[in-house]
Amino acid sequence: MSSNQRFKLFSDPVHGFISVPKNVIMDLVQTPEVQRLRRIRQLGVGHLVFPGAEHTRFNHALGAMALMQDALANLTEKGTPVRPEEQTAALAVALLHDVGHGAFSHTLEHELIEDFSHEDMSRVLLTDLNERMDGALDLALAMFDDTYDRPFFHQLVSSQLDMDRLDYLRRDSFYTGVAEGEVGVQRLLKTMRVHPLSGGADAEVMIEAKGIYAVENFLISRRLMYWQAYLHKTVLAGDELLRGILRRAQTHLDAGPAPDWLQRGSRALLFFLDHDVHADAIETPEVRDHYLQLDDTDVLFSLKQWMRGPDPVLADLCHRFVNRVFLRVRFLSERPDEAQIDAWRADVADWLVAEGLVPRSEAAAAARHYLTLNVSRHTAYDSDEELIGILGRDGTARELSEMADTTTISDLTGFVEKPYVCFPKPVDLELGAVSEG
């Protein structure tokens, strides 16, 4: 059989041509669960800040799978045996690792389902697919759960230097135009190896000493992408606005049966707003099926319906999101006390009344949708997670900080927290000490 018959080629602007094996992997690509990822943007509201960031979770899934192919080919060349069934299982896990993401990716994760984790939903969907495929994904599930007796496969999917992170950093840098996020992916893959090479139960994925600067560059790029793209203050403003819309819609549902005008929104979205869904219920068919029906288009459709509804606050918030009239975000040197927050909300309430959006009796409640406090938080290298191992030229394995520039690594290890306030631009708040970082 010719190579053209054994693989289907996808043209990708980041990795070039991606070869998808015409076996269970191509079958997975064709499933509704994976095709749904075409309708979910990778960066949530990021496209409203970076015009080129229209790429989807589907692009990322294929990219992570492509990098897994490259990583396994490199490890095989260096002496770690990988059986055909392991290759297929690892590609399946890389493809499906983010299949549980919901509409607008991370933005709405905790608004629709309490205590939700997209990783848990990915496992639910992986299990469902395995049942439909008569156990063809048994090994993939074991790798996903880290119960397979060669744990380095799990590391390639879930670690601080996995295929997921390598793809999304390079892909997001490409589509946002944030050059500081560019990562030397191939250098990292070429210096990866399993130690010991047998790949047994005690084996780990490590980076050869000659790749240590590529690792440092990766961690620095990750930090820069978070502050310049993922946690950009305008992205945060879009996130807060979208969450505020759903909370405002929720107030109508909490008051009684959903009014007719609210029901013009997406049924899949209304299901989650109208039910108190907890993460414990994600395996139930009703929750899972509604979740699979929900994507970015459902949210945008709902907003376009509600912006013509009789609630002036909800209509205004929806209009702002659809037409990109965002609220303002300002980073703060420290979180304000409750008295300061109440004073700010009183200022916003006065503005809402002056604008004619609400009567005075409703202004205080409405102000909570227009002024929010939150904290952006990130670390490039989490010392509480599985650490990155470096394999010295003498065959000695050490943790990254023991071999790298310790000043650089220590700077990247700590969590950086930035409190921020989100509020309407026309309102002149007394912010005191403000950090523009």
Instruction: Give the distance, in angstroms, between the CA of residue 314 and the centroid of all CA atoms in the same chain.
Output: 26
Write down the pLDDT at residue 432: 63
Q: Which two tokens stand for residue 36?
A: 């749904």
Task: Report the side by side order of strands in the sheet with 372-378.
Answer: 372-378, 416-423, 328-332, 434-435
Q: DSSP character for 10?
A: E
Q: At what angle do helices 360-370 and 233-254 cross, to 10 degrees?
A: 140
pLDDT at 84: 97
pTM: 0.94
Which is nearest to 300 in space by CA: 41, 49, 32, 110?
A: 41
- 162-176 tens-digit pLDDT: 999 999 999 999 999
pLDDT bin (cut points 50, 70, 90) of residue 35 is: very high
Region 92-105: mean pLDDT is 96
Among 29-38, 128-137, 200-209, 402-411, which is the least confidently predicted range? 402-411
Dump the DSSP string for 97-134.
TTTT--TTGGGGHHHHSBT--HHHHHHHHHHHHHHHTT
Region of 273 (left: φ > 0; alpha: ψ -120 to 50; beta: rest) is: alpha
372-390 CB burial, b ≥16 within 10 A, e <16: bbbebebbbbeeeebbbbb
**What are the pLDDT digits (tens) for 380-416?**
898 778 889 999 988 899 999 888 766 777 778 878 8
Percent of the chain with pLDDT over 70: 97
Q: Cite the residue boundaries of each domain of the chain with CATH code 1.20.1250.30.
A: 236-246+258-324
Segments of the chain assigned to CATH 1.10.3210.10: 3-231+383-413
Q: Which CATH superfamily is domain 3-231+383-413 in?
A: Hypothetical protein af1432 (1.10.3210.10)
Query: Are residues 72 and 87 in contact, defined by beta-carbon separation less than 8 angstroms?
Result: yes
User: Can you tell me the mean pLDDT for 372-377?
Assistant: 95
pLDDT at position 401 is 84
Lowest mean pLDDT among 32-36, 49-53, 107-111, 382-386: 382-386
Give 345-367 pLDDT, tens digit per residue. 999 999 999 999 999 999 999 99
pLDDT, tens only, 220-243? 999 999 999 999 999 999 999 999
Give the architecture-level CATH label for domain 236-246+258-324: Up-down Bundle (1.20)
Least confident interval from 54-58, 151-155, 199-203, 419-423: 199-203
Residue 406 pLDDT: 63
**What pLDDT score was predicted for residue 3?**
47
Q: Report the chain's mean pLDDT, rounded to a whole number.
A: 93
Burial of 13 (0-12, 13-18, 19+ CB in 10 A): exposed
- Looking at residue 229, what DSSP letter applies? I
